[in-house]
């Protein structure tokens, strides 16, 4: 197995596990009276991420790894785990608002309002750069920033309405 296949295999498995966890968390939150906002952008976000991953496999499976970008990816995964551990059962891939629950302010949320989006904003171009796919990093990095701007506006609006 090549390094690029190992990296892409890890990334694919990680995303699949995250979708299972996020679905479980979303269902539990909805059962507690939570509600989803910004659902109209969710299919677009899923399509963006699925296309990002599929094209990484298509163009990067046999590419040599650029180790500094792999190291950056590992650091980003530490940030991802910190966010997930801090949010616990409130972490989902959707924007789910739980009335009466205080916003999370611990962990990385002490420093920035949307730490997971920062991780994703760097991760989306980092993986293609680790595979030497500069064009891929530019295209998907830019598209992801536009998606995050849409999502953050929806999330901030929902928090403002909730409080």
pLDDT for the residue 59: 98
The whole-number mean pLDDT for each consecutive block of 10 residues of the chain, a chain of 163 residues, reads: 96 97 98 95 96 98 98 98 97 95 94 96 98 98 97 92 78
Gap between the Cα atoms of 49 and 53, Å rounded:
6
Total domains in the chain come to 1
**DSSP SS3 for 133:** coil
Residue 31 maps to which CATH number? 1.20.120.1630
The reported pLDDT for the residue numbered 162 is: 78
DSSP notation for 43-62: HHHHHHHHHHHHHHHHHHTT
Predicted local distance difference test score (pLDDT) of residue 138: 98
- What pLDDT does residue 1 have? 79
pLDDT at 161: 86
Amino acid 56: pLDDT: 98
By residue range, what is the domain housing residue 134? 3-162
Q: How many angstroms separate the Cα of 97 from the Cα of each of 39, 157, 163?
A: 12, 11, 11
Both tokens of residue 82? Answer: 């910190």
Q: Is the dihedral of CA 75, 52, 120, 81 positive or negative?
A: negative
């Amino acid at each position: 197995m090549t390094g690029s296949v190992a990296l892409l295999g890890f990334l694919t498995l990680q995303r699949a596990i995250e979708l299972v966890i996020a679905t479980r968390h979303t269902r539990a939150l909805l059962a507690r009276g939570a509600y989803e906002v910004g659902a109209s952008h969710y299919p677009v976000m899923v399509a963006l991420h699925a296309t990002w991953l599929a094209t990484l496999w298509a163009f990067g499976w046999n590419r040599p790894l650029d180790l500094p970008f792999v190291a950056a990816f590992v650091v980003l995964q530490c940030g991802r785990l910190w966010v997930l551990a801090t949010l616990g059962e409130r972490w989902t891939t959707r924007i789910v608002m739980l009335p009466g629950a205080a916003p999370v302010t611990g962990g990385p949320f002490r420093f920035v309002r949307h730490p997971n989006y920062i991780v994703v904003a760097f991760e989306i171009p980092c993986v293609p750069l680790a595979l030497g796919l500069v064009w891929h990093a530019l295209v998907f990095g830019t598209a992801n920033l536009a998606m995050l701007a849409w999502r953050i506006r929806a999330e901030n609006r929902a928090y403002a309405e909730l409080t």
